[in-house]
Structure 1
């Protein structure tokens, strides 16, 4: 084949490729403008401004009033956020999860549910038992009651956590409830 034949063949291939790129799909016309409708969120979530913020644990009791805490030398806390987030420090590890206010009025206060909690996994021999009891009670929460700067959370089994709004030192903590 002579050079003119190669040039002619190349031009034909390019013309076919160019024609293929400009073709339209049958049935596809001009796009119709669409309107995006964004739903307006409803405020179905129940909130309690008094609950929001950081609460410092000062006492813990098991059902029947037994207190595994006699004096606390470590600071444990719980932080309730407006968006339903719950986080805090449990003596050795940090934890987080979600909480929901149920809107129920119960004998021990207002209804609350705490979703599954996740926690860091450091091991601290001196606080591990206390920490696991704290996390168990807070995760099994069924009600809460706020009186002034004091928060009492009660679990389904009757265990309680007593919190205060102000941090404390080891000598300022009461021995049980």
Structure 2
């Protein structure tokens, strides 16, 4: 009997490890609150996380659908319209007009990828944007 209980407990523990990924909750009131934050950019193809952190690269979704971003130089302004099904659309990007030689490459890459983003996913305190030109990963500013 003790062996049966041990086997059953082991099977139950393994089944718990294989639990499905939770659904994207952005369409729920809790999910909307989770989206309306400042998101720190942690992954952008071609740039190290250390550089993105040093630039204080961020995207601000606190006033959706009005959104903005900062990549170390100019302020970027745009509309972001996330949907409950994980889709998202962005309006044209407007920017202030400063020239910062050391930061322009990150800003240009962000502005190039953003219009191609069509999907988002929230995983805990992380936001992932996906599109035809790649992915961008963010962590909630108020979490870290």
TM-score higher than 0.5 here? Answer: yes
Cα RMSD of the aligned pairs, angstroms, is 2.3
Per the alignment, residue 53 of structure 1 pairs with 37
Paired residues of 1:90 and 1:135 also in contact (CA < 8 A): no
Per the alignment, residue 80 of structure 1 pairs with 61
Mapping for residues 12-161 of structure 1, pairs under 5 Å? 48-61=32-45, 68-70=46-48, 71-72=50-51, 73-104=54-85, 110-157=86-133, 159-161=134-136
The CA distance in 2 between the partners of 1:148 and 1:90, in whole Å, is 24
Unaligned runs of 5+ in 1: 1-45, 62-67, 105-109, 173-177
The CA distance in 1 between the partners of 2:44 and 2:107, in whole Å, is 11
Per the alignment, residue 164 of structure 1 pairs with 139
Q: Which has the larger radius of gyration?
A: 1
How many pairs does the alignment contain?
112
TM-score, with structure 2 as normaliser:
0.69
* SS of structure 1 residue aligned to 2:87: strand
What do residues 143-168 of structure 1 show as CA deviations (whole Å, max 9, x unaligned)?
111111111111233x111111137x
Displacement of 1:140 in angstroms is 2.2
TM-score, with structure 1 as normaliser:
0.57
The CA distance in 1 between the partners of 2:115 and 2:33, in whole Å, is 21
* SS of structure 1 residue aligned to 2:113: helix
* SS of structure 2 residue aligned to 1:124: coil
Paired residues of 2:126 and 2:137 also in contact (CA < 8 A): yes
Displacement of 1:83 in angstroms is 4.0
The CA distance in 1 between the partners of 2:110 and 2:71, in whole Å, is 7
The answer to which structure has the higher helix fraction is: 2
Unaligned runs of 5+ in 2: 1-26
Instruction: Tell me: CA distance 1:101–1:132, structure 2 relative to 1, closer, same or farther (3 Å).
Output: same
